[in-house]
Amino acid sequence: MPQIHRLSRADARRVAVLAQLLHGERPGGLLPAARRLTLLQLDPVSAVAPSADLVAWSRLGSSYVPGHLRAALDERRLIELRAMVRPAEDITLYRAEMAEWPGRGELTEWQRHRRDWVLANDRCRREILARLRDEGPLPSRRLPDTCDRPWSSTGWTDSKNVTQLLEFMVQRGEVAVAGRAGRDRLWDLAGRVYPDHPPVPTGEARRERDRRRLRALGLARPRGPEFPVEPADVGEAGEPALVEGVRGEWRVDPALLDVPFHGRTALLSPFDRLVHDRTRTQELFEYDYQLEMYKPAAKRRWGYYALPVLHGDRLVGKVDARADRKGGVLVVNAVHRDVPFTADLAAEVEREIADLAGWLGLEICRAA
């Protein structure tokens, strides 16, 4: 029987902070950080800065330049896969699963629906591949929409035939994002984008992804609710653990249990992996947080793009801020204090806000 680690909440929080490279010792650069975190999530909202850049800044500090991420993508050291930036060498962990799309064994109803929709539009799929083969990389607007069956959805993807077909073709391993022109993704044949490494067999690849995910999270549930694209659970990776005051079993990376902890203060992206799983955040950090950008302004508690505030092993507040690049200012609407701030803590939060403004090349403007 493997040893069951019994952790206090403080122990568990420190493991999570260490795993996410948010402790006192900063990583040695963007690529080492990306390899440890396994991913940087892309998101079109950049009220302060693009989320992937903000995550990198939180780890690396003001030595990080957003051009570093663009260069790593252009040089194919990092690869964009389903709105996640991943180390290029990790793509080999997805290729076998791509070849099995929409899945192996008995398929669910939604898997059959997607399979049948792609089959119904096979003519369009082949025309897209031919256009990319001859002319790629291309934005989606340059690709033919000859779908015989439109994509039907109650969401924003309704009738977005080409973009939806491209998404499934990514999952099938046929096309990939080769770069960006402004906000437009440029598409090309996957074989011209991904490294030419043999795929890792599906079962082995899933276990390795679980292992890497646990190393990035430090502590996670063996099974949990589904998240789109990137799971939050880790299967049988690591070793079993119990957390004082929290029900249920966890899995922990034992390599982090004896690492000395030296905390610091950091401002985080709303999409940061430390807070991405809201249930885990509440259980371990006793921290209430939600994205409020989609709420009416009158119903927001913390702001459109509130940045979680980490101090040591605690999440202690939110900074409601917005970058006004035309005006040359970082507008700070409020600093919400979830716990009483000591003078030292207040000063550290202000230093982080000043560092953020300096990194963005903006002056601080306090909202009236």
- Single-letter amino acid, residue 174: E
User: What is the H or E stretch that residue 307 is in?
Assistant: strand 306-311
Assess contact for 199 and 99: CB atoms under 8 A. Answer: yes
| CATH architecture of the region 264-366 | 3-Layer(aba) Sandwich (3.40)
CA–CA distances in Å: residue 216 to residues 122, 133, 320: 39, 37, 27
Predicted confidence at residue 182, as pLDDT, reads 85
Count helices and strands in the chain by DSSP H and E runs = 11, 14
Total count of residues recorded for the chain: 368
Assess contact for 234 and 19: CB atoms under 8 A. Answer: no
- Domain layout of the chain by residue ranges: 89-192, 264-366
Query: Taking the domain 89-192, which CATH number applies?
Result: 1.10.10
Residue ranges, the chain, pLDDT below 50: none
Are both 89-192 and 264-366 of the same fold?
no
161, two tokens: 């035939």
Q: Are strands 314-324 and 306-311 parallel, antiparallel or unpaired?
A: antiparallel
The dihedral through the CA atoms of 307, 311, 314, 317 has a sign that is negative
Predicted confidence at residue 1, as pLDDT, reads 65
Predicted confidence at residue 155, as pLDDT, reads 82
